[in-house]
């Protein structure tokens, strides 16, 4: 079933060879499938941390309470012996012995003392016993005894040349037996014969025990001998006859002085300290094999048995005892009662009984075949509520009281000692006692609902619970003949609910809580304490049972049996929990039943028989949790173990971790659960789980602290295991890489900033350029418009000046023409003196330079550079030439020029000719064009 504690529990128990109905202690059975090794288990030992070690045919087995580990022997041979001393696990086997120590990784490491000291081992020599006295560890084979001085680190060998049967460590004194001679005691390293084999009838000794007066010698086939005052004699005990029929292979003396004998073919025999027979365990009543090769009483008082096929653990000190109906003849126990010296069991097969303190088998009471729902002792009679009616039990027989089918229960009616009320499949009935016998009196009319659970509020009013329909308040008439009226209460119905009376209060229990009926309010009110105790996620049944002698209220949850009892020093009820889960106790849900057999001893009916629990023996102690192994790797399915005693740092790829832990809880009826957290990623505790290992896959880098704790029987472990480790950052997240990333980021940011800046600068420059261009264009346009405006104004001015110049020229021309005409006309006048005077005046007017100066000024305003330009080009020209040029510049004809110069047309042509020559013009060139284009 794997390596978890919750392997297949087979609840077999011990009882005497003569008994048929004896209760027995739990046994855990480990098969080869559980511990993954071979059949035979030759020796068992236990370490200080309560781990179990077994010498197996395959090697050394280690059990930590949660899982088994197998360590092959160095030479792959069979291991015959194992003993744990001072954290050294000494083992002996085929031609080798040595010790194992736990390494830093939590695994065992073997050192062969044979190889280390180069010991000369005999051919095929095997080592069957190991013991320690002081600084000496002794390894016994069938030929020799090797003594290892752990202080001086050397060996000595005891070799008698004869077969050594066994060595015995009796309170620090070493004995060994040589069959042919007898029993020797080692004194100062030397063997001294203690007594001969004849004294014990040449029997092979299995063990030697110390007594107050001497030694007790336990033989293979002849029982016990005593050695007192240097004399050997038979220890006469009541079990001698039994022991003479057995072949004993192993034995131990318990801490309480009892003896456990392991036989070759009859299982285990338990004797008390006086040698009286107590019980036997064999395959018929619990063991997985009848050959007991080795025995160990562990630190908790459990008995470990190394068998010829498997390993068994007997919880001999368990507060639980069990009767298991192996043949299935009893069936599921629904009710139980202790009456007149008999124990009665009501089951789905009928009613059974046996004397209460005997080991006799249960006997069936005729006429009771079928379901027995209730057994109640009322007014000195035992009533049986049966599917077929109601019976009164008379020893080994029953009397029919009522044949009304389906009696759930029978109860008293307060104030009416001759009446009983009966709840059945179809309502309520009244039983009456007449002439010393109980009889059916009447059915209570007016209420026909199944009445499995009912309780009186007062003598005429009761509450009836139906798990599907709810709770009814019923008021009866004074004669209990009929229901006066009834009504359904406000409380909701619930599957597996029930109604009960405790401390004179009616309680209704359902998965949502426990409610107390308030008579003044005529309603149910939630009881917070009982609700927290009996309801919630662990709820399995609302059936609560009142135990009157100790005033306890019992209930059943998924993980516990719970009982509430009055506080001893105050009125606060005390809550007690018996840690046994529903899957282990195997009680029938909503049909749980409990019976007080004796003070603090109770019988609990199950589907396979019954349990007996002794409350006084329940002594819960918190256990320690152990970190057994931590492993990790880059792949979840390929992990390697790690050191447990240091803080580790791992590369980033090594990020899968597995943790194994355990609690050394070896009780069959007890369960341990675990929870963990991994600070750094899972900071909260996980839910409780039975799984004793956890794996974390692909953890991110960071610092982690793993913690785990356990809970056993409701008690949290004394300690919390921790393991601290660190997963490095990946190379691309290390400090140097981060610095590089930061620098790269800065560089990239700078580059981005630079290029962005450059990009935006280009955009900005383009925008500026565009804007400037636009402004320039606008400016140019403005300038153009201004120039155009100026040109327009200039053009207007020029046009005005040209107009003025033209008008002045025309005026001048007209004036001169006029004057010339006048002169011409005057020339024709007869008065010559007056004419000459006028003519002189006209000539003076015509030749007046003031007109020319006015013309020149007007001309220069129109074409101010012309005069300078032509002078610079042709410095030889005269002022008259300049006047002619000005007139030619205005594109005047010779005819128009003549009056201006006051000369004839021809004279103008002569002047033009002369001017051409001064200007150096070719005869083909036009003088006017040259002047105009200049």
- Mind listing the pLDDT tens digit for each residue in 196-233? 888 887 889 999 999 998 999 999 999 999 999 889 99
pLDDT (0 to 100) of residue 829: 59
Model confidence pLDDT, tens digit, residues 647-661:
889 999 999 999 999
Q: How far apart are CA 278 and CA 272, in angstroms?
A: 7
- Res 353 pLDDT > 60: yes
pLDDT (0 to 100) of residue 13: 34
Query: Helix, strand or coil for residue 794?
Result: helix
Residue (of 455, 522, 450) closest to 489 by Cα position: 522
Residue (of 236, 222, 249) closest to 276 by Cα position: 236
The mean pLDDT value for 351-368 works out to 93
Q: What percent of the chain has pLDDT over 70?
A: 91
**Measuring CA to CA, how many Å separate 92 from each of 39, 43, 97, 304, 907?**
18, 10, 4, 20, 163
Residues 6+ apart with CB under 8 A from 87: 47, 48, 101, 102
The mean pLDDT value for 123-130 works out to 96
pLDDT (0 to 100) of residue 17: 32
Residue 5 binned pLDDT confidence (cut-offs 50, 70, 90): very low
Residue 366 binned pLDDT confidence (cut-offs 50, 70, 90): very high
Q: Are 427 and 444 in contact (CB under 8 A)?
A: yes
819: which 2 tokens? 């004057």
Of 21 and 178, the structure prediction assigns the larger pLDDT to: 178
Q: What is the residue-wise DSSP string for 391-416?
A: EEEETTEEEEEE--S-EEEEEE-TT-
Of 100 and 925, the structure prediction assigns the larger pLDDT to: 100
Specify the DSSP element, H or E, that contains 83.
Answer: strand 79-85
Is 31-283 CATH 2.130.10.10?
yes
CATH superfamily of 627-659+675-733: Immunoglobulins (2.60.40.10)
- According to DSSP, the β-strands at 648-650 and 721-727 are parallel
Residues 6+ apart with CB under 8 A from 154: 117, 148
Task: State the sign of the Cα–Cα–Cα–Cα dihedral 553, 673, 39, 301.
Answer: negative
Q: Which range has highest mean pLDDT (393-407, 545-559, 771-785)?
A: 393-407
pLDDT (0 to 100) of residue 320: 93
Residue 39 burial by CB count (10 A; 0-12/13-18/19+): exposed, middle or buried? middle
pLDDT (0 to 100) of residue 6: 35
- Res 39 pLDDT > 80: yes
The answer to which of 253-267, 478-492, 878-892 has the lowest mean pLDDT is: 878-892
Model confidence pLDDT, tens digit, residues 283-325:
988 899 999 999 999 999 999 999 999 999 999 999 999 898 8
Q: Are 425 and 450 in contact (CB under 8 A)?
A: yes
**Measuring CA to CA, how many Å separate 547 from each of 366, 451, 568?**
30, 22, 17
- Res 18 pLDDT > 80: no
CATH number of 863-934: 1.10.10.10
Residue 9 binned pLDDT confidence (cut-offs 50, 70, 90): very low
Task: State the sign of the Cα–Cα–Cα–Cα dihedral 833, 835, 838, 841.
Answer: negative
Residue (of 311, 307, 303, 281) closest to 293 by Cα position: 307
* Cα angle value 486/491/493 (rounded, 5°): 95
The pTM of the full predicted model, rounded to 2 decimals, is 0.76
- Res 897 pLDDT > 50: yes
Half-sphere exposure of 180 (CA within 13 A, CB side): 5
Model confidence pLDDT, tens digit, residues 72-120:
999 999 999 999 999 999 999 999 999 999 998 999 999 999 999 999 9
- Res 132 pLDDT > 50: yes
Domain boundaries defined on the chain: 31-283, 444-534, 627-659+675-733, 734-848, 863-934
Task: State the sign of the Cα–Cα–Cα–Cα dihedral 323, 328, 334, 340.
Answer: negative
CB atoms within 10 A of CB 718: 12
- Res 36 pLDDT > 70: yes
- Name the DSSP letter for residue 361: P
Of 783 and 520, the structure prediction assigns the larger pLDDT to: 520
Q: How far apart are CA 408 and CA 454, in angstroms?
A: 10
- Res 663 pLDDT > 60: yes
The mean pLDDT value for 9-13 works out to 35
- Res 619 pLDDT > 50: yes
pLDDT (0 to 100) of residue 882: 84
User: Backbone phi, then psi, for 591, in 5-degree steps?
Assistant: -125, 25
- Res 731 pLDDT > 90: no
Model confidence pLDDT, tens digit, residues 767-803:
777 777 777 777 777 777 777 777 777 666 666 666 5
Q: Are 573 and 564 in contact (CB under 8 A)?
A: yes
Classify 92 in phi/psi space as left (phi over 0), alpha (psi -120 to 50) or beta. beta
């Amino acid at each position: 079933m794997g390596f978890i504690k919750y392997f297949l529990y087979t609840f077999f128990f011990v009882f005497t060879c003569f008994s048929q109905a004896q209760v027995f202690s739990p046994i855990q059975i480990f098969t080869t499938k559980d511990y993954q090794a071979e059949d035979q288990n030759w020796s068992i030992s236990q370490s200080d941390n309560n781990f179990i070690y077994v010498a197996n045919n395959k090697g050394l087995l280690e059990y930590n309470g949660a899982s088994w580990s197998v360590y092959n022997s160095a030479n792959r041979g069979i291991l015959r012996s194992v003993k744990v001393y001072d954290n050294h696990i000494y083992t002996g086997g085929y031609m080798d012995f040595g010790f194992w120590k736990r390494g830093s990784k939590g695994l065992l490491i073997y050192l062969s003392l044979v190889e280390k000291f180069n010991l000369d081992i005999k051919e095929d020599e095997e080592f069957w016993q190991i013991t320690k006295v002081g600084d000496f560890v002794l390894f016994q084979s069938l030929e020799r005894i090797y003594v290892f001085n752990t202080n001086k680190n050397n060996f000595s060998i005891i070799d008698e040349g004869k077969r050594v049967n066994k060595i015995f460590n009796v309170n620090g004194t070493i004995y060994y037996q040589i069959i042919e001679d007898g029993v020797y005691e080692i004194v100062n390293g030397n063997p001294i014969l203690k007594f001969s084999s004849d004294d014990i009838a040449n029997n092979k000794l299995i063990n030697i025990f110390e007594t107050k007066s001497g030694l007790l010698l336990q033989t293979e086939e002849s029982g016990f001998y005593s050695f007192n005052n240097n004399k050997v004699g038979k220890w006469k005990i009541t079990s001698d006859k039994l022991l003479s029929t057995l072949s004993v292979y192993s034995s131990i003396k318990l801490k309480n002085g009892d003896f456990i004998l392991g036989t070759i073919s009859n299982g285990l025999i338990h004797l008390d300290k006086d040698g009286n027979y107590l019980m036997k365990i064999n395959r018929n009543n619990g063991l997985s094999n009848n050959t007991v090769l080795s025995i160990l009483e562990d630190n908790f008082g459990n008995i470990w048995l190394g068998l010829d096929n498997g390993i068994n653990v007997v919880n001999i000190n368990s507060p639980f005892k069990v009767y298991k109906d192996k043949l299935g003849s009893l069936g599921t126990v629904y009710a139980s009662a202790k009456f007149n010296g008999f124990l009665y069991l009501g089951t789905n097969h009928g009613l059974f009984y046996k004397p209460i303190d005997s080991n006799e088998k249960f006997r069936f009471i005729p006429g009771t075949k079928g379901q027995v729902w209730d057994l109640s002792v009322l007014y000195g009679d035992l009533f049986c509520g049966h599917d077929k009616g109601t019976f009164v039990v008379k020893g080994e027989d029953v009397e029919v009281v009522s044949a009304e089918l389906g009696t759930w229960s029978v109860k008293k009616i307060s104030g009416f000692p001759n009446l009983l009320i009966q709840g059945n499949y179809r309502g309520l009935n009244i039983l009456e006692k007449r002439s010393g016998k109980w009889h059916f009196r009447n059915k209570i009319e007016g209420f026909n609902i199944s009445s499995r659970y009912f309780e009186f509020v007062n003598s005429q009013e009761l509450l009836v619970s139906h798990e599907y329909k709810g709770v009814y308040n019923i008021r009866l008439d004074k004669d209990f003949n009929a229901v006066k009226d009834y009504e359904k209460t406000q409380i909701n119905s619930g599957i597996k609910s029930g109604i009960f009376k405790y401390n004179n209060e009616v309680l209704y229990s359902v998965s949502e809580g426990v409610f107390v009926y308030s008579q003044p309010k005529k309603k149910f009110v939630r009881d917070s304490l009982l609700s927290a105790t009996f309801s919630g996620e662990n709820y399995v049944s609302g059936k609560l049972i009142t135990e009157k002698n100790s005033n306890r209220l019992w209930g059943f949850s998924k993980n516990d049996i719970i009982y509430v009892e009055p506080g001893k020093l105050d009125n606060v009820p005390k809550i007690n929990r018996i840690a046994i889960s529903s899957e282990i106790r195997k009680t029938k849900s909503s049909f749980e039943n409990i019976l007080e057999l004796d003070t603090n001893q109770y019988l609990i009916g199950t589907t396979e028989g019954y349990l007996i629990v002794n409350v006084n023996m329940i002594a819960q102690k918190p256990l320690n949790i152990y970190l057994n192994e931590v492993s990790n790797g880059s792949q979840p399915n390929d992990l390697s173990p790690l050191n447990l005693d240091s803080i580790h740092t791992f590369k980033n790829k090594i990020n899968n971790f597995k943790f194994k832990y355990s609690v050394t809880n070896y009780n069959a009826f007890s369960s341990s659960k675990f929870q963990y957290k991994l600070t750094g990623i899972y900071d909260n505790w996980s839910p409780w789980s039975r799984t004793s290992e956890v794996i974390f896959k692909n953890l991110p880098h960071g610092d982690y602290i793993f913690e785990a704790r356990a809970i056993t029987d409701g008690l949290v472990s004394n300690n919390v295991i921790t393991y601290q480790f660190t997963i490095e950052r990946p190379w691309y997240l290390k400090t140097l890489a981060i610095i590089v990333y930061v620098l790269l980021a800065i560089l990239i940011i700078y580059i981005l900033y630079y290029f962005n800046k450059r990009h935006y600068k280009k955009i900005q420059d383009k925008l500026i350029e565009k804007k400037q261009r636009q402004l320039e264009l606008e400016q140019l346009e403005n300038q153009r418009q201004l120039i155009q405006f100026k040109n327009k104004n200039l053009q207007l001015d020029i046009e005005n000046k040209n107009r003025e110049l033209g008008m002045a020229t025309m005026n001048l021309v007209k004036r001169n023409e006029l004057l010339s005409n006048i002169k011409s006309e005057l020339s024709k006048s007869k008065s010559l003196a007056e004419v000459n005077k006028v003519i002189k005046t006209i000539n003076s007017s015509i030749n007046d330079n003031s007109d020319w100066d006015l013309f020149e000024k007007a001309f220069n305003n129109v074409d101010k550079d012309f005069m300078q330009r032509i002078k610079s080009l042709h410095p030889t020209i005269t002022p008259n030439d300049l006047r002619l040029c000005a007139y030619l510049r205005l594109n005047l004809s010779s005819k128009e020029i003549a009056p201006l110069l006051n000369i004839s047309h021809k004279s103008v042509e002569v002047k033009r000719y002369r001017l051409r020559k001064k200007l150096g013009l070719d005869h083909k060139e036009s003088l006017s064009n040259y002047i105009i284009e200049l």
